[in-house]
């Protein structure tokens, strides 16, 4: 006899947990593939079948409106870590974003200017206007009824988990922790962090620093040891002819060093500037450590060498100077004043900035700057600087 208390599907206790996790993971996949990579960033095209499935599923499980989500996220990228950022923990505080992320989202969704300026290109068909947007609350209500019918009393907590999953993981963890704690592959202009290198639970969104560095890439993993399950799903859809990747992060390949850098070399460096900056910092790890050890031996009383600055120096070599906080610049300048080698290495790194920052220089002028940079690097007397210049002359776009 059918037990209405248990619903149409009777499962062991662990079965309900597995089903709840599967359902919430489908929601996460819908957010990262459809809302984020497809709608907000246009990093891939989706066939109408998965596109509408994701849209329907998000209506059932979140009640979020595609135009609102895409507009708020695009504004976040455009105004990141400023007072206009809808949810920056650097501005609002980590507690505010972590605990009240969904409230911040709802408040911004009522900003007509945000929707007008950043919400272009999102679905505007009959079903969007007359159901998904107009009656967003109907979806989550229908989901509650379905959960109760299928799982009985257990459907109550399963529905509750579905409803809080995105506010907690996306609005709280990604928008909060993803700009506050974690590791950084790239010293880009904002405070984004990779929370963990295995993007599974939140669909790959854990790799948030990678995403902010290459915002229009459909793939969020960057290092070989990082995993983006959202990218796995996208590649599966592409294999089934249900998706087409439009953009991924640019990559470089090593070729034999050219006698003279050319326009192709310049283009490869500019396109992959964050990777070049990270490689520069890695190149001088041993040089920096040796110089700082020497400073300690010569002048152990200096305050800026008493606390090990090796790690900080690696970060400073990744950054453009404008991205280094003022209080750190004071410590950096004091350190550079004590070492000609460190001063040269740092100055040469900052000269690379002029190759990729927006300026009025022509391609010919930038190429001349790069050629001059390589010539000076190779005659600097610093072996690691000479080696890096040779690596630059062997850089090409993959």
Distance in angstroms between the alpha carbons of the first and the last residue of the chain: 64
Q: CA angle at residue 356 from 219 to 327, to 5 degrees?
A: 95
Q: Are 302 and 338 within 8 A, CB to CB?
A: yes
**Number of Cα atoms under 13 Å in the Cβ half of residue 49:** 6
Q: What's the pLDDT band for 284 if we cut at 50, 70, 90? A: very high
Pick the range with the lowest mean pLDDT from 66-75, 192-201, 310-319, 377-386.
310-319
Q: Are 221 and 227 within 8 A, CB to CB?
A: yes
Q: What's the pLDDT band for 1 if we cut at 50, 70, 90? A: very low
* Residue partners of 111: CB distance under 8 A and separation at least 6: none
Share of the chain above pLDDT 70, in %: 96
Would the pLDDT of 102 be above 70?
yes
Residues of the chain by 3-state class (helix, strand, coil), percent to 5: 65, 5, 30
Separation CA 48–CA 63 (nearest Å) = 20
Tell me the pLDDT tens digit for each residue of 235-263.
Answer: 999 999 999 999 999 887 777 888 888 99
Strands 252-254, 44-46: pairing is unpaired
Sole residue written with tokens 């455009």: 78
Separation CA 217–CA 214 (nearest Å) = 6
| 3-class SS of residue 136 | helix
* Residue partners of 155: CB distance under 8 A and separation at least 6: 7, 144, 146, 147, 148, 149
Tell me the pLDDT tens digit for each residue of 300-346.
Answer: 666 665 566 788 888 899 988 988 889 889 889 988 988 899 999 99
Q: What is the pTM of this model?
A: 0.87
Tell me the pLDDT tens digit for each residue of 133-186.
Answer: 999 999 999 999 999 999 999 999 999 999 999 999 998 999 999 999 999 999
Q: Where are the domains of the chain?
A: 13-245, 254-397
Q: CA angle at residue 298 from 296 to 304, to 5 degrees?
A: 45
Strands 227-228, 198-199: pairing is parallel
Tell me the pLDDT tens digit for each residue of 36-95.
Answer: 999 999 999 999 999 999 999 999 999 999 999 999 999 999 999 999 999 999 999 999
């Amino acid at each position: 006899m059918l037990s209405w208390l248990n619903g149409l599907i009777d499962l062991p206790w662990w079965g309900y947990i597995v089903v709840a996790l599967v359902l919430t993971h489908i929601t996460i996949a819908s957010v990262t593939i459809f809302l984020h990579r497809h709608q907000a960033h246009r990093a891939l095209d989706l066939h109408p079948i998965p596109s509408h499935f994701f849209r329907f599923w998000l209506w059932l499980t979140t009640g979020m409106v595609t135009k609102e989500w895409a507009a708020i996220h695009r504004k976040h990228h455009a105004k990141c870590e400023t007072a206009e950022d809808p949810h920056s923990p650097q501005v609002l505080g980590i507690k505010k974003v972590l605990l009240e992320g969904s409230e911040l989202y709802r408040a911004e969704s009522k900003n007509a200017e945000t929707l007008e300026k950043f919400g272009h290109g999102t679905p505007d068909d009959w079903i969007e206007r007359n159901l998904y947007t107009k009656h967003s609350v109907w979806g989550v209500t229908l989901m509650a009824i379905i959960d109760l019918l299928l799982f009985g009393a257990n459907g109550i907590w399963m529905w509750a988990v579905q409803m809080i999953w995105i506010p907690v993981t996306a609005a709280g963890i990604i928008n909060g922790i993803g700009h506050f704690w974690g590791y950084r592959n790239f010293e880009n202009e904002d405070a984004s962090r990779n929370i963990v290198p295995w993007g599974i639970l939140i669909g790959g969104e854990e790799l948030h620093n990678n995403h902010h560095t290459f915002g229009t890439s459909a793939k969020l993993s960057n290092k070989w040891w990082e995993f983006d399950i959202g990218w796995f799903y996208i590649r599966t859809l592409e294999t089934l002819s249900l998706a087409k990747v439009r953009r991924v992060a640019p990559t470089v390949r090593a070729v034999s060093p050219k006698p003279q850098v050319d326009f192709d070399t310049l283009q490869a460096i500019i396109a992959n500037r964050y990777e070049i900056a990270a490689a520069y910092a890695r190149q001088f790890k041993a040089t920096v450590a040796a110089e700082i050890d020497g400073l300690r031996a010569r002048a152990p009383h200096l305050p800026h060498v008493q606390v090990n600055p090796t790690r900080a120096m690696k970060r400073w070599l990744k950054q453009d100077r404008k991205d280094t906080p003022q209080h750190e610049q004071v410590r950096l300048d004091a350190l550079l004043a004590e070492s000609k080698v460190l001063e040269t290495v740092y100055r040469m790194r900052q000269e690379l900035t002029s190759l990729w920052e927006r300026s009025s220089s022509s391609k010919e002028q930038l190429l001349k700057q790069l050629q001059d940079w390589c010539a000076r690097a190779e005659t600097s007397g610093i072996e690691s600087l000479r080696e890096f210049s040779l690596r630059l002359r062997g850089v090409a776009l993959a």
